[in-house]
Structure 1
Amino acid sequence: MSKTATKEENPLINIIINVLLPTIILSKLSKEGEALYQLGPKWAMIVALALPLVYGIWHWIKHRKLNIFSTVGMGAILLTGLITIYLWSNDSAKPHVAWIFGIKEAIQPLILGSLFLITRRSTSPLFRTFIYNDAIFDIKRIEKSVAENNLISQYEGLIWKCTLYFFGSFCLSAVLNLGLAHYFLNDLAPDLPNWKEEYNGIVGSITIWGFAAIGGPMMVVAGYILYMMINGLEKLTGLDKESLLLPR
């Protein structure tokens, strides 16, 4: 992997800008007051949404490369803004807000997971980008052994099975996100004082817990998939683990 690619995909920066900073802004800066950091619920929401949106646009302008995960994230940010506008359009209670927000939260992992299936036959399958790639596996040696033993269909079947498992982790994340949104927003009462501050804090909580809901199952399933791939490839190719994996 080149230095440029590594810089583009820096996960720490993505987490800070897309999750941590918006959460801090929504939870800590939403109060009304005279202090400079007391932005109020409206401006705190604007800043929290604008931060990852501006970062995503800057990333695209600088690298001129569409990042699928950033694009889906930016779509989720815009949906959050639209839901907030709907909720804040007047101070009357809005029915089914928890479900509307929950569906929005569930859509993001479902889209991401579906992309693993959609790109399966493309020149750059996402499964090969994130799990089965030449930074971990000695793919040239593996595919040479598969071809020599005429096991291409079994090899492709193993990859497809693991792709489905990874898609399943995103489906689980979607269900968890739906449940989280319903849990946090179900008791929101717009007729109470400072309910917009409360709403911002809830959105911040959903953001941080939603990240865990996506990342947690994905990491667990990714570990299991690596185990499946190594065991499956050992049986198909006759190569041992040290031969399948590139030296670290």
Structure 2
Amino acid sequence: MSATPHKPENPLVNIMVNVLVPVLALGTLSKDPAIQEKLGKAAHWWQLGPVYGLAIALALPLGYGIWFFVRNRKANFFSLIGLVSVLLTGCITIYLWNKDGTVKPGAAALYGLKEAAIPLALAFAILLSHRTPNPLLRVFLYNDALFDIPKIEGKIGADEQPGYAALLWRSTRLFATSFFVSSVLNLGLSLFLFRGFDHTAGDALETYNAIIGRITWMSMLVVLVPAFGFLFMTLHKLVAGLKELTGLTDEEIMLPR
């Protein structure tokens, strides 16, 4: 008796659980109670300081990644991205943090480069993975959770193979472009929100954490909206190209949702 196939993971849920929620949690948990009291603010039990805040924030993508691996016998790409993102954010915070509540200079540039580095690395990874056995286009978009790939490839004969390969390469380049754009927008957003930041102020670490929180939720609009625009553009052009190559309809190419 064959095992029941697992329901495909929702990419949006993956991003929320592995990236957005841990970074937001890091900003909340990393507040130092001693600094809070020094500033005349109430210290709460969940304010653990940067080191313990980082450890707890890392637990969510790490735990999700282990659960996903046990369930599916393969690594979760988003958990890896979440671990890297939270680890970088936490390590930057620990590096910048001074015991008196001030932070070291260069916080804006350092955090902006961190925000730009992850989508930039993804863009290059998508391009470089194209000729590997597991292209990232197939992980994110052109996969058997969305497309009836056996039916599609069954319709593509030897004469259509060059056109099929060219279509996938065009789609890969367009998809990678979305991450290049996200990298530039991430850097610009970080530098914009850090403008006027005084790293010598007594509450600089508090302000720094607040800015990170704003960057995290504002990037949902500033970065994800253009990224989803490119995603749907890539999807539209991919489906149109597949229809032209195979003669199949939208309903035959895409799996029912």
TM-score bracket, normalised by the shorter chain, equals: 0.7 to 0.9
- Corresponding residue SS for 2:186: helix
State the partner residue of 2:44.
37
Match runs of 1:43-192 below 5 Å: 43-46=48-51, 48-62=53-67, 63=69, 65-89=74-98, 94-147=104-157, 150-192=159-201
Root-mean-square deviation (CA, aligned residues, Å) is 3.0
How far did 1:85 drift? Answer: 2.5
- If the length of structure 2 is used for normalisation, what is the TM-score? 0.80
How far did 1:17 drift? Answer: 6.0
Cα distance in 2 for partners of 1:93, 1:35 equals: 21
**Structure 1 residues 17, 121: CA separation in 2 closer, same or farther (over 3 Å shift)?**
closer
Cα distance in 2 for partners of 1:229, 1:125 equals: 15
**Structure 1 residues 66, 179: CA separation in 2 closer, same or farther (over 3 Å shift)?**
same
Contact in 2 for aligned 1:21/1:48 (Cα 8 Å): no
Deviation per CA, 1:41-88: give whole Å up to 9, x if none. Answer: xx2544543333112332344425432332232222222222222322
Contact in 1 for aligned 2:147/2:253 (Cα 8 Å): yes
Contiguous gaps of at least 5 residues in structure 1: none
Contiguous gaps of at least 5 residues in structure 2: none
Cα distance in 2 for partners of 1:192, 1:21 equals: 27
Deviation per CA, 1:105-144: give whole Å up to 9, x if none. Answer: 1111112222222222222222112211223222222222
How far did 1:223 drift? Answer: 1.0
State the partner residue of 2:247.
238
Cα distance in 2 for partners of 1:203, 1:176 equals: 15
Aligned length: 243
Deviation per CA, 1:79-108: give whole Å up to 9, x if none. Answer: 222222232246666443211111111111
Cα distance in 2 for partners of 1:54, 1:24 equals: 11
Contact in 2 for aligned 1:106/1:177 (Cα 8 Å): yes
More off after superposition, 191-200 vs 224-233: 191-200
Contact in 2 for aligned 1:119/1:126 (Cα 8 Å): yes
Cα distance in 2 for partners of 1:135, 1:93 equals: 46
Cα distance in 1 for partners of 2:171, 2:119 equals: 17
**Structure 1 residues 76, 136: CA separation in 2 closer, same or farther (over 3 Å shift)?**
closer
Answer 1 or 2: which has greater helix percent: 1
- If the length of structure 1 is used for normalisation, what is the TM-score? 0.82
Contact in 2 for aligned 1:170/1:218 (Cα 8 Å): yes
Identity %, equivalent residues: 33
State the partner residue of 1:19.
20
Give the counterpart letter for 1:141 in structure 2.
Answer: K
**Structure 1 residues 171, 61: CA separation in 2 closer, same or farther (over 3 Å shift)?**
same
RCO higher in 1 or 2 (8 Å CA, sep ≥ 6)?
Answer: 1
Contact in 1 for aligned 2:120/2:179 (Cα 8 Å): yes
Contact in 2 for aligned 1:56/1:70 (Cα 8 Å): yes
